[in-house]
Structure 1
Amino acid sequence: MSSDPWGRVDETGTVYVRTSEGEKVVGSWQAGSPEEALAYFERKYEGLVVEIGLLEKRVKTTDLSAKDATAAIDHIRGQIDEHHAVGDLEALGRRLDALVASVEARREERKARKAKQTDEARHAKEALVAEAEELAQSEQWRAAGERLRALVDTWKGLPRLDRKSDDELWHRFSHARSAFSKRRKSHFAALDAQREVARQAKERLVAEAESLSGSTDWGPTAARYRELMAEWKAAGRAQREHEEDLWNRFRGAQDVFFAARSGVFAERDAEQSENLKLKEELAVEAEKLVPVTDLKGARAAFRSVNERWEAIGHVPRDARPRVEGRMHAVERAIQEAEETEWRRTNPEARARAEGLTGQLQAAVDKLRAQIDAARAAGNNAKADKLSRELEGRQALLDQALKGLEEFGG
């Protein structure tokens, strides 16, 4: 018979292991010595120790699931319960109990972590839904569309919730995207319709602009081109593929007209600049007639200048008031000289002037006599009143005498 602290072999070859509940049969050994039997079953015990150690390490350092860990623990515990090894089996059982507690703790930890992740995912998806529903009302079509696509990618990266919650949130999210797409499609359909109307309107404007490009009716045609430009701006934009071509045709027609007008105007401006030079020379010639000393000669000379003036033609519009004003000034001086001469040589006007002067002189003399009489009578108030009346009559007399002088005294 052979034994050690944890087991023994009796004389029949039966192997026992010692436990706190007494000895338990491990097995029977007939092939060799009792020492070999104990060594064999002790090696099986060491194998269990190694297996438990490896499992402890896996539970501690890997992501071994609780289910797999529990299955491995149950498998080892079954071997211990069958008492097929010699050693401190109860110590192994305690290590397994501790391992069970560790696995359970990890299970609860993972459960809490998963619950937290699920809660975070719920809040994240609710936030995505809220933003999507807000974007569904946006008219920033490009930016909102790009943002909605980014939200889809974010959604795909989040963990799934329970089916009911996930489906409800996804339904709201998908509905918001569909609503935005529907509004955007409707907007661009309306925009396309507007652009088609604009295209047709601009086709008509281009046709008219091209028909006017050869006109030589410069003023009305230029005014009509300005109206066409205003109508062009009011028509709105056509489709991109048409807008540039229509504009190039429209602008090209205008350029043809205005280039031709500019050429004509340049030629006319050159001619009018020469006319201006000639008229300025005539204005200098006319101005030499002032002041008028020989009315008949001045009148004849001005007539000659004016005939040559009329034969010259137009001058630049901005210079016209200035140069024509010089001629008008000379003309007015000659007219004033004529009026003065007429008044001086008109016998009827002279007679009327002399009559008026005589009447005024008589009235003045009469008032002076009345004033002297009032003063002599001591009636100063009446004298003062008559003096004021005398001042008015004297002023009229002075004016009449001045007019009479124009008739040669």
Structure 2
Amino acid sequence: MYVREADGERAVGQYPGATPEEALAYYTRKFTELEGQVGLLEQRLRGGAPAQDVAKAVAALAPSIPTANAVGDLQGLAERLGRLSATLGEATEKQSAQTQQAIADALAEREAIVAEAETLAAQDLSKAQWKQLSGQLDALFARWQAAQHATPRIPKKDGDELWRRFRAARSTIESGRKAFFAELDSVHRDARTRKQSLVERAEALASRGADAIPDYRRLLDDWKAAGRAGKKVDDALWARFKAAGDVLYGAKAEADAIEDVEFSANLEKKLALLAEAEPLLTATDRGAARTALSAIQRRWDEIGKVPRDQVRVIEDRLRKVETAVRKLEDDHWNRTDPEKQARSQGFAEKLAQAIAKAEDELAAAKKAGDKAGVKKAEESIAAQKAWLDALG
């Protein structure tokens, strides 16, 4: 079997025992395989495969094409491979530039991560919200790990320096966190000790019943000032402290219930007194009203206590009667106050003199035909008489 080339025919092999068509088909397939290898290299380069890897494959394949035992356009195939080889230089430069840019982007990403970590570490860690801060730091570390896997490898020197800075920032934050929680543990221990003592003192009040409530309230003030002992410990101690208070307030509720039963008769008596006192709201005789009210007040005090939930109600009703009687006395005093009467009398005399003067001016204005003067004098007389009427 022969293949025709530019300088003549070249024997490519023998295929004994086969027909010429079968032999030709066999060597044609050999050419097709070579053509497929060239096409694959072209496709790899177009797909973005590293140009250096494609160049190695081209260099390995190129020498075999001119002497290949195959039938086909070997010269054309060699030229295709040559053209592919010619483009590898440009592709290598382009890919190199892309790689350098990708490395620069990766460095910028790592630098941004480190800068954010250093900013977190530079804040006042004594005031940090540790749950939020720890979450932010964990997110930055996750970004760092993702960048390691998703971006090109950065120069070792740069990578080591950036990691050193990131690790230093993380160590600063971790040291601050440990110091904060160590101090918090100390505060919690102190608060726990104080609250444990308060619980024991509150529980010791149980035997005194309702009489111990003022002391319990003082202990409650101390509890509020004791600080936090940690949620679980606080909740457990508070449950005991509250239970101790419930014992005291329960005793007080029982005592109040007993008193309410005892004082219910007193309530009925005071309600009867109110029925007797409330007609004084419309009284006009101040002396009789004062006498009646004094007697009612004396009997009121003698009756004694009423159920607690009724104290305010009945006291307000009695205060209303007392206010009405006091107003009668105040009104009487305002009417009979000698000094006030003297001032009113003097003012009335002045008003009478002013009215007389205005009447003379009115007569003179009428005689002179002075309409404006007449109007002015009439208005003055009307105003003075209104004041005089107001004085009674």
What range is the shorter-chain TM-score in? 0.5 to 0.7
Q: Which residue of structure 1 aligns with residue 132 of structure 2? A: 143
CA distance in 2, matches of 1:315, 1:53: 112
Q: Which residue of structure 2 aligns with residue 368 of structure 1? A: none
Residue among 238, 242, 257 paired with 1:247: 238
CA distance in 2, matches of 1:151, 1:84: 60
Alignment check: 8 A CA contact 1:132 1:173 kept = yes
Q: Which residue of structure 2 aligns with residue 69 of structure 1? A: 54
Matches within 5 A, 1:245-324: 245-278=236-269, 281=272, 284=276, 312-315=303-306, 318=312, 319=314
What is the TM-score when the length of structure 2 is the normalising length? 0.60
Moved more, 169-178 or 44-53: 44-53
Alignment check: 8 A CA contact 1:48 1:76 kept = no
Cα deviation for residue 216 of structure 1 reads 4.1
Q: Any idea what the Cα deviations from partners look like across 1:342-384, whole Å, max 9, x if unmatched?
A: xxxxxxxxxxxxxxxxxxxxxxxxxxxxxxxxxxxxxxxxxxx
Alignment check: 8 A CA contact 1:44 1:84 kept = yes
Alignment check: 8 A CA contact 1:272 1:314 kept = yes
Which ranges in structure 2 are unaligned for 5 or more consecutive residues?
Answer: 281-285, 326-392
Amino acid at match of 1:147: Q
Matches within 5 A, 1:79-90: 79=64
Q: Paired residues, what number?
A: 294
Amino acid at match of 2:56: A
Question: CA, structure 1 residues 42+276, in 2 after alignment: closer, same or farther (shift >3 Å)?
Answer: closer
Alignment check: 8 A CA contact 2:15 2:23 kept = no
Question: CA, structure 1 residues 265+130, in 2 after alignment: closer, same or farther (shift >3 Å)?
Answer: same
Question: CA, structure 1 residues 277+271, in 2 after alignment: closer, same or farther (shift >3 Å)?
Answer: same
Cα deviation for residue 141 of structure 1 reads 1.2
Matches within 5 A, 1:23-34: none
Which ranges in structure 1 are unaligned for 5 or more consecutive residues?
Answer: 7-16, 331-409
1:58 and 2:41 correspond = yes
Q: Which residue of structure 1 aligns with residue 110 of structure 2? A: 125
Question: CA, structure 1 residues 95+47, in 2 after alignment: closer, same or farther (shift >3 Å)?
Answer: same
Residue among 192, 200, 222 paired with 1:199: 192
Question: CA, structure 1 residues 30+210, in 2 after alignment: closer, same or farther (shift >3 Å)?
Answer: closer
Residue among 167, 179, 183 paired with 1:186: 179
1:162 and 2:147 correspond = no
- CA-based RMSD of the aligned residues comes to 4.5
Alignment check: 8 A CA contact 1:41 1:85 kept = no
Q: Any idea what the Cα deviations from partners look like across 1:313-347, whole Å, max 9, x if unmatched?
A: 444664569769999x99xxxxxxxxxxxxxxxxx
The structure with the largest helix share of the pair is 2
User: What SS class does the counterpart of residue 214 from structure 1 fall into?
Assistant: helix
Cα deviation for residue 266 of structure 1 reads 2.5
Question: CA, structure 1 residues 73+310, in 2 after alignment: closer, same or farther (shift >3 Å)?
Answer: closer
CA distance in 1, matches of 2:257, 2:15: 133
CA distance in 2, matches of 1:80, 1:310: 130
User: What SS class does the counterpart of residue 192 from structure 2 fall into?
Assistant: helix
Question: CA, structure 1 residues 260+85, in 2 after alignment: closer, same or farther (shift >3 Å)?
Answer: closer
User: What SS class does the counterpart of residue 196 from structure 2 fall into?
Assistant: helix
Q: Which residue of structure 2 aligns with residue 99 of structure 1? A: 84
Moved more, 92-101 or 199-208: 92-101
Cα deviation for residue 103 of structure 1 reads 3.0
Cα deviation for residue 74 of structure 1 reads 2.2
Q: Which residue of structure 2 aligns with residue 364 of structure 1? A: none
Q: Which residue of structure 1 aligns with residue 95 of structure 2? A: 110
Cα deviation for residue 47 of structure 1 reads 4.0
Question: CA, structure 1 residues 111+48, in 2 after alignment: closer, same or farther (shift >3 Å)?
Answer: farther
Matches within 5 A, 1:360-375: none
Question: CA, structure 1 residues 53+254, in 2 after alignment: closer, same or farther (shift >3 Å)?
Answer: same
Moved more, 167-176 or 75-84: 75-84
CA distance in 2, matches of 1:108, 1:197: 69
User: What SS class does the counterpart of residue 207 from structure 2 fall into?
Assistant: coil
CA distance in 2, matches of 1:65, 1:203: 72
Cα deviation for residue 199 of structure 1 reads 0.8
Q: Which residue of structure 2 aligns with residue 232 of structure 1? A: 223
CA distance in 2, matches of 1:119, 1:107: 18
1:213 and 2:206 correspond = yes
Larger radius of gyration: 1
What is the TM-score when the length of structure 1 is the normalising length? 0.58
Question: CA, structure 1 residues 73+255, in 2 after alignment: closer, same or farther (shift >3 Å)?
Answer: same
Amino acid at match of 1:152: F
CA distance in 2, matches of 1:321, 1:66: 101
Question: CA, structure 1 residues 29+46, in 2 after alignment: closer, same or farther (shift >3 Å)?
Answer: closer
Alignment check: 8 A CA contact 2:12 2:70 kept = no
CA distance in 2, matches of 1:148, 1:58: 46
User: What SS class does the counterpart of residue 161 from structure 1 fall into?
Assistant: coil
CA distance in 2, matches of 1:169, 1:28: 61
Query: Percent identity among equivalent residues?
Result: 33
User: What SS class does the counterpart of residue 157 from structure 1 fall into?
Assistant: helix
Alignment check: 8 A CA contact 1:214 1:256 kept = no
CA distance in 1, matches of 2:71, 2:264: 132
